[in-house]
Amino acid sequence: MTSLRLLIMGPQGVGKGTQAERLSAHYGIPHISTGDIFRYNLKNGTALGKEAGRYINKGELVPDEVTDRIVEDRLHQDDAASGWILDGYPRDAEQVEALDKMLERMGQRLDAVVTLDAAQDVLLERMKKRAAIEGRADDNPTAIAARLKTYDTQTKPLLKKYQSRGLLVSVNGVGKIEDITATIIEKLDQLCSNN
């Protein structure tokens, strides 16, 4: 496979970050987490970071238009030339459209969308454990429930869009980490050899 451009999607606590890192190592392409890109731009005081910071410092959500530019900027970097795994974007229908236009401008196309799924009680349990280990203040029951609801209402419907394009690879996010990775790779290789 010469290049691979993937989205990894799923509710919080399903193991997207873990699987994205493993796929990144397997395919030799960067795992691009929108949270990491934001932190990088903020920490390094880039023009985009300063723009995003104006909203963040006021406790406001960064507008899609700024998020889109931050993502596009990252996809133009050298390490992403032969592919990438995008984690945490797109989150809504407007961002799907923005990503489509972005890739069109770059002369690229999306190869697949990996979605991991797990029952809500499994996700809640995992996030409770993560909160205990990492001491994350945002992993309290109220915040977790709100994030899962946002995923269900805004992001989950996007999966139908990608399914209709023949790009969706659905995998159960419960089980041994290495077994889940093996299933994703098998399904991805199958999908990409057919496209």
Q: How remote is the C-alpha of 40 from its chain's centroid?
A: 16
The single residue of 91, 128, 161, 187 carrying the catalytic annotation is 91
Query: Buried (b) or exposed (e) across 84-121, using 16+ Cβ within 10 A?
Result: bbbbbbbbbeebbebbeebeeeeebebbbbbbbbbeee
43 among known catalytic residues: no
Determine the length of the chain.
195
The single residue of 50, 54, 101, 136 carrying the catalytic annotation is 136
Query: What are the E-state strand segments in 34-184?
Result: 83-87, 112-117, 168-172
16 among known catalytic residues: yes
The single residue of 69, 128, 130, 156 carrying the catalytic annotation is 130
69 among known catalytic residues: no
Which residues are part of the catalytic machinery?
16, 91, 130, 136, 147
